[in-house]
Structure 1
Amino acid sequence: MNAPPNAPGELRRRLGVSDAVVIGLGSMLGAGIFAALAPAARAAGSALLPALAVAAVVAYCNATASARLAARYPASGGTYVYGRERLGAFWGYLAGWGFVVGKTASCAAMALTVGAYAWPGQAHAVAVAAVVALTALNYTGVQKAAWLTRAIVAAVLAVLAAVVTACLTSGTADAGRLVPGGGDATPAGVLQAAGLLFFAFAGYARIATLGEEVRDPARTIPRAIPIALGLALVVYAAVAAAVLGVLGPERLAETTAPLAEAVRAAGVPQLAPVVRVGAAVAALGSLLALILGVSRTTLAMARDGHLPRALAAVHPRFHVPHRAELAVGAVVAVAAATADLRGAIGFSSFGVLTYYAIANAAAWTLTREEGRPARALPATGLIGCAALACTLPPASAATGAAVLAAGAIVYALRRGRRTP
């Protein structure tokens, strides 16, 4: 079900498999390594690696569901479109609402990560400046964003390889720290950590939400999503094992810059400034891809009238949803000026887990002829998303549930006004 390449009012298809994989990787790496490891270690203790495995299993199920659905419905909006087409207008709306609100929090978290590493004393000001600069870049076309993301991913992978090498070759690394034990790990803690780490895996959704800008989406998207997810998992596992082996769960849980702390503990303090630069660059890459994804879902919801229809405009020259991008950039800039980094991660995870729960439910309804995955995968994904959402920190779960409820009320009121 491929849309015409340049139909009126639609975005231009410019991204190939490698572009899509890079955008997914760029979105995941900044979030996972530099923002989620420490709070996850605080929840899981010495069972950090099992928590990472749980998050990866749920992410794989979600990725499979998203890939099959994206090949079937290659339009901007991701699960907003899939929920609407397979489950009904309300479920599509709820998925879109959860994604836009949750990922706006993610954008603020990534912008603040840039500020915290680049200039800790002026973190909020740097965060706002980063949002403004990347919004301006996205405005000029998705291909430029893909090129910049490619450079960012290459630089970040080089930094992470240096961290892993420094940690694993140092005399301070202890493989015993990777084995759960000592009574500090509980099932509830592992699930909570998995929910926080899921924040790090959700970047592959950007590939699906850019479905209207991907060439040959029925072939490209199902290939790009699992490749990006698999590469991210390999990187996460290597870095988490290296840092945990050097710092141990207690020290890792307490630090605000775990990779910089790890290289200092490994006896290579001169690498710490490089890690700080790498962290800022990685967060920039994640922020770039996040703004792309949120603006495309905003575009899809505006087309259907769930958001102001003016946001559905496509720029005649750059072929991007320019009004949606400017609106998202403005909201993220305000959030980055006022938000708290750690609170944003849990809140974002709740919204995104809701989004993927709906994606799995939509994938369950596919027929065999439509490319339905094995039923066990969307069932596991749906149950896993619900379980992880329920075990997030209570404040994050309560706030997320309240925001979803507010969105449902707005939907009901709008439907009521339309009914004669």
Structure 2
Amino acid sequence: MAGWSFVIGKIASCAAMAMTFAAYAAPAGWQVPVAVAAVAALATVNCFGVTRTALLTRILVVCSLLGLAIAVGFGFGAASASTPTPLPDATAYGVLQGPACCSSPSPGTRIATMGEEVVDPAKTIPRAIGLALAGAVVVYTLVGIAVILVLGGDAIGSTAPLVDLLDAADASAWAPVVRVAAAAASLGALLALLTGIGRTTLAMARESDVPRFLATIDERHHVPQRAEIMIAVIVIAIVLLADLRGAIGFSSFGVLLYYLIANAAAFRQTGPARRYPRALQVLGALGCLVLVSTLPILASSIGAGVVLLGVGYRMLRLRLTHA
């Protein structure tokens, strides 16, 4: 159930990231074709090996951080002279729904799925997760503060808030640079998501929790090409059929359910496998239950149906295996 929830949640995250990339990079009317092309291109990169994936990831991260630094710099510079629109009144439901919908792009799970291709994963992965989480918190905080100081309530509903920030700060000349950076950030997230889902699907296929033909690893490039291609096809279908908000809600449902199961599993760890006190797992599980209850009803209903479909497939497979 954890693997299935991860796969369906992150597949929806891929669609959301592809749509976000297209919102910054594509002209009006071309968002869907550009999003589809982005998914196909990055899936192709993944099929040629993890070293190419890592190199492209480094390039995209550098581009995105430079653009964010420009936007944040102009934002803080213009904060004292700006008169942002007041924010709407906060409610407990709204405050909880924010982190619920932001749960899908977390860095830790994507790093953990690469354990099979990492040297000394027991040391490297925990260190990488800690560094990635700390870096993400700093970047999210700086960008969020800059946008709110300059745009205020106008940031809500904006499809390109960083570009709007530059316009408000009289720095429109830098807008193309920030558009490229935002597009690069979305592509980087999409690339990491596609890579992680392929490895998780490979692990599940080895246990027959998804069809076993997906467990094949390409002998030349050492990647699960069948899984990568199948995932890309599903993501493209979601891009063609769904909207950005629906994809985010569905993604968050699957990811929060995955986190809930992960916390429950970690609670049962003993001996050297345990890294943190059990109180953290209890807090994490309760947090997942609270946040998932704030998601849109439609997204949660569809997510629950897809999860039950995966569980039903596994039950049927086990029954036929033991018959």
Q: TM-score, normalised by structure 1?
A: 0.73
Partner of 1:334: 237
Partner of 2:119: 215
Residues 311 and 273 (structure 1), Cα distance of their counterparts in 2 relative to 1, 3 Å cut: same
Helix, strand or coil at the partner of 1:169: helix
**Contact 1:364–1:372 at 8 Å: present in 2 too?**
no
**Contact 2:23–2:160 at 8 Å: present in 1 too?**
no
Instruction: Indicate yes or no: 2:103 matched with 1:195.
Output: no
Report the CA distance between 1:369 and its aligned residue. 2.7
Report the CA distance between 1:173 and its aligned residue. 4.5
Of 77, 96, 102, the residue aligned with 1:169 is: 77
**Contact 1:312–1:321 at 8 Å: present in 2 too?**
yes
d(CA) in 2 for partners of 1:290 and 1:306? 20
Partner of 2:52: 144
Which aligned segments of 4 or more residues in structure 1 are displaced greater than 3 angstroms?
171-177
Give the residue type in structure 1 aligned to 2:5.
G
Give the residue type in structure 2 aligned to 1:128.
V
Helix, strand or coil at the partner of 1:306: coil
Report the CA distance between 1:417 and its aligned residue. 2.7
What aligned pairs does 1:350-365 form with structure 2 within 5 A after superposition?
Answer: 350-365=253-268
Helix, strand or coil at the partner of 1:305: coil
Report the CA distance between 1:376 and its aligned residue. 1.4
Partner of 1:366: 269
What aligned pairs does 1:10-409 form with structure 2 within 5 A after superposition?
Answer: 94-120=1-27, 121-170=29-78, 171-173=80-82, 184-200=89-105, 202-248=106-152, 250-409=153-312
Give the residue type in structure 1 aligned to 2:291.
L
d(CA) in 2 for partners of 1:276 and 1:326? 28
**Contact 1:192–1:388 at 8 Å: present in 2 too?**
yes
Q: Which moved more, 1:202-211 or 1:394-403?
A: 394-403
Report the CA distance between 1:405 and its aligned residue. 2.1
1:12-59 CA distances to partner (integer Å, 9 max, x unpaired)?
Answer: xxxxxxxxxxxxxxxxxxxxxxxxxxxxxxxxxxxxxxxxxxxxxxxx
**Contact 2:84–2:151 at 8 Å: present in 1 too?**
no
Report the CA distance between 1:238 and its aligned residue. 0.3
Partner of 1:18: none
CA RMSD between the two structures = 1.8
1:125-154 CA distances to partner (integer Å, 9 max, x unpaired)?
Answer: 111111111111111110111111011101
Flag structure 1 segments of 5+ consecutive residues without an equivalent. 1-93
d(CA) in 1 for partners of 2:149 and 2:16? 27
d(CA) in 2 for partners of 1:408 and 1:309? 16
Helix, strand or coil at the partner of 1:369: helix
Report the CA distance between 1:391 and its aligned residue. 0.9
d(CA) in 2 for partners of 1:172 and 1:390? 40
Report the CA distance between 1:176 and its aligned residue. 11
1:245-286 CA distances to partner (integer Å, 9 max, x unpaired)?
Answer: 1111x2111311111111111221112222221121111111
Report the CA distance between 1:419 and its aligned residue. 3.6
Residues 172 and 347 (structure 1), Cα distance of their counterparts in 2 relative to 1, 3 Å cut: farther
**Contact 1:299–1:324 at 8 Å: present in 2 too?**
yes
d(CA) in 1 for partners of 2:297 and 2:175? 34
Flag structure 2 segments of 5+ consecutive residues without an equivalent. none
Report the CA distance between 1:194 and its aligned residue. 1.4
Partner of 1:52: none
Report the CA distance between 1:354 and its aligned residue. 0.6
d(CA) in 1 for partners of 2:181 and 2:128? 24
Report the CA distance between 1:410 and its aligned residue. 2.4
1:199-219 CA distances to partner (integer Å, 9 max, x unpaired)?
Answer: 23x232111011101100111
Identity fraction in percent: 50
Residues 234 and 174 (structure 1), Cα distance of their counterparts in 2 relative to 1, 3 Å cut: farther
Give the residue type in structure 2 aligned to 1:276.
R
d(CA) in 2 for partners of 1:382 and 1:273? 42
d(CA) in 2 for partners of 1:210 and 1:331? 21
Give the residue type in structure 1 aligned to 2:13.
S
d(CA) in 2 for partners of 1:130 and 1:175? 35
